[in-house]
Amino acid sequence: MIPKTATVLLEFFIKRESKVSLMRVPLSHFCQEEVVLHAQECLLKLNKQVITYQDIRDMVENLCIKKNTEVAKELGNTIRKLIIIVCEVATSLEKISEVPTTDWMAIGEAIVNKLERMNPPKPLPFSAFIPRMREFKNMKMLGAGGFGAVYLANYRPANFVVTVKLVNMDRFSRHKQAAMDKVVASVIRNPFLVKYYCCFCVKEAYVTVMEYIAGLDLMRVVTKEEYLDIDSSRIIMAQLILAMEHMHLRGFLHRDIKVSNMLILPGGRVKVIDFDTVKVCNGHCRSSVCSGMNIGCTIVILNRRRRPCTVFRAGRAADWWSSGIVMYKLMTGRVPFRGKSKQLLRERIITSPLKWPRAEEHPHSATTPAKDMTYRLLKKNPVERLGSRNYSDLKTHPFFDQFDWKMLFAKTELCDIASIAELMNSDAEKEGKTGDPEDKRKHQLLEEMTDVNLESQKPLLCYASPSFKKLMLKVKSTKAFKVSDSFMETSAQSSTVIDYQGNSPMSISKTAALSSTDAKETTAADKVDLMLYRKKKYLKFWSFGFSLRRIKGEEANFIYIDSVTKGSPADMSKVLPLDFILQVNGIAVVDAPLPRIKKMISSAGDQMVLSVMSSSPYRLLVSRRDMLSTMRGIPLESAVVKATKLTCIGTKPYGIGLLDVDVADDKLKQSSKCFLLLYADVISANKKMVFPGDVLFEIDGTPLDGLSRSNVDQLLSSGKPEITLSVVPLSPMRKRRFLISKMHETGMSDTNVASKSTAAEID
C-alpha cells in the first residue's frame, strides 16, 4: 500500500514541478530540474520494484549539496516535499534490510530550519545587469545562418571586445528550449567551453554576449589540412574529453558534439560551443559516488508532448559516441558512416562495422592505439562504450600514454597546425576587400535593435555571469576603466570544487583487474559496505562466520565467500555466499594472498567493515524482481568439462558445487529455482570455462527449468568422462560483464553488426 501511495504522490509531484516558470532565474530552473530528475528515477525504480533504501539516501544527499544561496530557500522547500513523499517507503526498506532507520521527517525539518536561519545579502535584481543594445558597437560579422547571426562587437562602457549572438525569436517553439543555454551558462565554468557573459532579449531576437574567441571553426582547419597529425589530434581530443567530463559531472548532456561546434585558436586551444541542444541530467554528485546513479544518470526529462512522468534514456554515452566520430574525422578527414538519407545513415550506423581507409588510397594519421580508442568510443552498445563506466578509462587509454593532462590548463601553445595561420591570414585579406555581399545584406547594426522595457524581461531568459556583473558595477562607479583578462576570469562567487577524479555515475567496478591503489578510486559505484560485530568467548573473539576461496578469473584473481554460518555475525549482517570481497576495513585485498586476508579478518577486533560487490549474482538474484527476464536476454556459454576425482566432501565428479536459490519471476508472478555455481574447479575440454556466479542452465542439453536439486545432482552423477555445461554467464570473474551490460542495454549492440569492426590490438 505504501509504494502505491508514494507512486501516486510522486507522479503528482513530478507533473507539478515540471512546469516551466519564466519567473525563475536559470540556476533555480536547473535546480528544479535536478529535483524532478531524481523524483523520476525514484518513481521508475518503485514501478520496477528494484528500489533500495540506499537509492533514497543517495538521492536526498545528492540534492542537499552544492547549491547556491540565492536559490536555496525555494529549492529546500521542494526537497522537503519530496522527502515527505518517499519517507515511509525509505523507512520500510531500511527495516526490511535490518539497518538503522533514518528520521526522514527530521531531515526535512532540518533543511527548512537551516534555510530560515540563512540571511544572505539580498542580491540586486537580475534586470540591473541587462545592458542596452546601444552600448554595443558592431565591428564585423562573424557568421550568419537560418538561426540568426554572430557579430564581433565592442562593449562601449568598458571598451571590451565580445561576441554577440542574435537568435531569431521564432527559432524556439518552447521557453524551455530558449532558456537552455542560459541554464548551462549559470552552472558551468571550464576553459574548454565557451564563456557566456550575459543573455537577454530585445524585440527582434534573443541576445547572447560571449567571450571573443580569436580562432577558427575546427571543420575549416581539418578540411584545409585533409587530416591532422596524431599529436594534434591527441591534444584536441584531450580538451574535448575534459570539456565533456565537466558538463556531465555538472549535470548536462551536450548532444551535438561535432567538429563544426568546436573552435580552435592559434596554438591549439579548443573551445566547445553551442548549448542549444543540451539536456539536463543528474549531476552534482556527492564525492562518494551514488550507488543509485548507475541507472539514474541516463534519465533526462522529455518534452511536454509525452507524459510528464515518462523518462527517456539518452545518456552520457551519446556524447562519447559523438566524440568518437570527431576523433575519426580528425585523423582521416572523413566520417566513418555515410548515407544519402537520414534513414540510410541510421541503418548504416546500427549495422555497419567501423572500417579504416587504406593508407595508400586515403592517407590518415591513425596509429594502433588511436584506432583502438576510436573503436571503443564507437561501440554500438552504449554500456560498453569507452567513458560510459569510468572517466578515468578515457584518460588512461594507451592513446594518452604519458600524456600531461595538467599542461592543458597551464599552456596556451599546445600544438602547431600550419593551416590555422594560413586561414586567418586569408580571412584578414578578404576583410580588406569588398567582402561578401550576402553578409552585407544580413548585417544589422546592433545599436539599431529595439530594447524592451526591463519590466518585460523574463528572469528565465536572462543571465549575467559573476564577472560581467562585476564589470557593470565597476563601469557605473568608474568613468575610465580598462578590462584585463584576469578581471573577466575571476568570479564574485566562490563555489566548492567538484571532485572530477571520481568515477562517472555509470561506473562499474573493475577492481579485480586493478592494483590496490586504483581499486580505491574505482569501486564506489559497485560496492556495498557491511558492518560485522562479534563478541568474545573465553577471552577470544568468536569467528565472524564465513569462509573464503580464491580463484583465478579471466583477467585477474578474485576472493569470494563460499559459505556463511547460520546465526553467525556474518549472517546477521547479511553477508551472502558468492559475495566478492573488495576491501577489509577500507584496505583493498584484490592483490593480497589469502592467508594475509584471513589474518586481517581474524585480527579485526570486535567489529569489521567488509566491502563487497553490490552486483554479485546471488545478491541480485535474491533482491531484484526482474532478474529472470534479464537473464533470458543473455547468450549462453557452453563448456565441455572432464570428470575429476573426488577431492573433498560434497565435491561433484566434474569439480563443481551448486547453490540453489529461489528467484522471483516478474512475468509469471511466482518464484523459480535457479542453480548458481558456488565453486567450479573444472578441467575444460573445449577451452571454455565456467566460473562461480554463473547460473547453470543445461546439462548435456537437458534444461534445468522445473527440476529439483536432487534431479540436478543425478544429472551430474552420470559417470560420463565428459559433460557439457551450458550456463548464463553472470560471474563477475568474466572479462565481459554480461549482467551489468544487459541491465543497461539498449537495442543497439555490436552483435547486430554483420561483420566485425576493425579493432586494434594493443600490446
Query: Measuring CA to CA, which residue among 258, 262, 254 is closest to residue 329?
Result: 258
Domain extents in the chain: 2-117, 132-213+420-489, 216-285+312-418, 511-614, 620-736
Q: What per-residue confidence (pLDDT) applies to 295? A: 31
Backbone angles phi, psi at 654, to 5 degrees: -105, 15
- Cβ atoms of 322 and 388 within 8 Å: the answer is no
C-alpha to C-alpha distance for 726 and 640, rounded to whole angstroms = 9
Stretches in the chain below the pLDDT threshold 50 = 286-314, 441, 491-525, 647-650, 745-747, 760-763
C-alpha to C-alpha distance for 444 and 19, rounded to whole angstroms = 36
- Cβ atoms of 548 and 581 within 8 Å: the answer is yes
Mention the CATH class of domain 132-213+420-489. Answer: alpha beta
Return the bridge partners of 587, or none: 584
- Cβ atoms of 332 and 262 within 8 Å: the answer is no
Domains 511-614 and 620-736 share a fold: yes
C-alpha to C-alpha distance for 420 and 405, rounded to whole angstroms = 23
CA distances from 32 to 46, 183, 371, 436 (A): 21, 11, 41, 46
Three-state SS at 663: strand
Q: What per-residue confidence (pLDDT) applies to 607? A: 82
Single-letter amino acid code for the residue at 153: A
CA distances from 102 to 7, 91, 134, 170 (A): 21, 7, 58, 50
Cα 422 to chain center, whole Å?
39
CA distances from 568 to 175, 415, 543, 547 (A): 60, 63, 8, 12
- Flag whether the pTM goes above 0.75: no
Q: What per-residue confidence (pLDDT) applies to 210? A: 96
Q: CATH number of the domain at 216-285+312-418, out of 1.10.510.10, 3.40.1130.10, 3.40.228.10, 2.40.40.20? A: 1.10.510.10
Q: What architecture is the 511-614 domain classified under in CATH?
A: Roll (2.30)
C-alpha to C-alpha distance for 198 and 156, rounded to whole angstroms = 15
**Does the domain formed by 620-736 have CATH 2.30.42.10?**
yes
Task: Using the structure block, give the residue that is written with the C-alpha cell 573577466.
Answer: 488
Mention the CATH class of domain 2-117. Answer: mainly alpha
C-alpha to C-alpha distance for 208 and 729, rounded to whole angstroms = 53
C-alpha to C-alpha distance for 59 and 360, rounded to whole angstroms = 55
Query: Measuring CA to CA, which residue among 504, 497, 512, 333 is closest to residue 419?
Result: 333
Q: What per-residue confidence (pLDDT) applies to 499? A: 38
Q: What per-residue confidence (pLDDT) applies to 524? A: 43
Q: What is the DSSP string of 544-576?
A: -SEEEEEEE-SSSEEEEEEEE-TTSHHHHTT--
Q: What is the DSSP string of 489-558?
A: H--SS--PPP-TTS--TT----GGGS-HHHHHHH-GGGEEEEEEE--EETTEEPP-SEEEEEEE-SSSEE
Neighbours of 531 (CB within 10 A): 11
C-alpha cell at 500: 572530477
